[in-house]
Amino acid sequence: MLTFIAAVFFLIITPGPGVLTVAGNAAAYGFGRGVPYALGVVAGSLVVMGLVASGLAALVFSIPYVREVLLGASLCYLLYLAWRIASSGSGIAIIETDKPLHFFNGFMLSLINPKGYAVFTTIVGGFNFYPENALIELGMKFLIFTSMSVPIHMLWNGMGASLKHLPLGPRGHRIVNIAMAVSMLLVVGLAVYYESARAG
């Protein structure tokens, strides 16, 4: 079980689309306004975990081109979220956004992120620490993931919000927002590279 807990901890806390957008959203709008989005990311992850555990995800991914379509949708959505973060709180943005990313945005990001399905396939299918009863083990995995995911996402939310409170001035905050968006774009690039390498 300790190995499973360690794996979940490092999978959640390391930078990825979910936590980077949580931090970027909080950097742009503050901690309180970033909470719904962070909870949406967690809720969407739990749904994905359920889809993987039920076998439904494997069935859907067995259909030709579903993975590629889902990857394309998630990349487009990540680009949209990066734009929202980069264009927030700045008078020089082409379209200034004054509304933070909300619960639904985070939920949808988790739901269409192919990386999430791969991660949960490993989490759900591996680390068998209670072989006596697979159902109890699955319930414990859901409980452990939830109890770790919420505070870790709140931590990223807090780290992002702390950037907003630094005395950087409008230009400095604009740079922070763009830097968070660029980080998102790097994640997009890595995702494309990983999928092309896997397909090749």
pLDDT in tens, 80-131: 777 777 776 544 333 345 678 899 999 998 988 777 787 788 778 777 778 8
Buried b (16+ CB within 10 A) or exposed e, 99-112: ebbebebbbbbbbb
Cα(179)–Cα(4) distance, rounded to whole angstroms?
Answer: 33
Rounded (5°) CA angle 13-19-16: 80
Q: Report the percent of the chain where pLDDT is more than 70.
A: 79
pLDDT in tens, 13-55: 776 778 888 888 888 888 999 999 999 999 999 999 999 988 8
The region, left, alpha or beta by phi > 0 then psi within -120 to 50, assigned to residue 88 is: beta
Which of 71, 76, 74 is closest to 18 using CA atoms? 74
| CA 101 to centroid of chain Cα atoms | 13
Cα(38)–Cα(28) distance, rounded to whole angstroms?
Answer: 14
Cα(174)–Cα(137) distance, rounded to whole angstroms?
Answer: 46
Please give the single-letter amino acid code of residue 179: A
pLDDT at 90: 47
Contacting residues for 151 by C-beta, under 8 A, at least 6 apart:
none
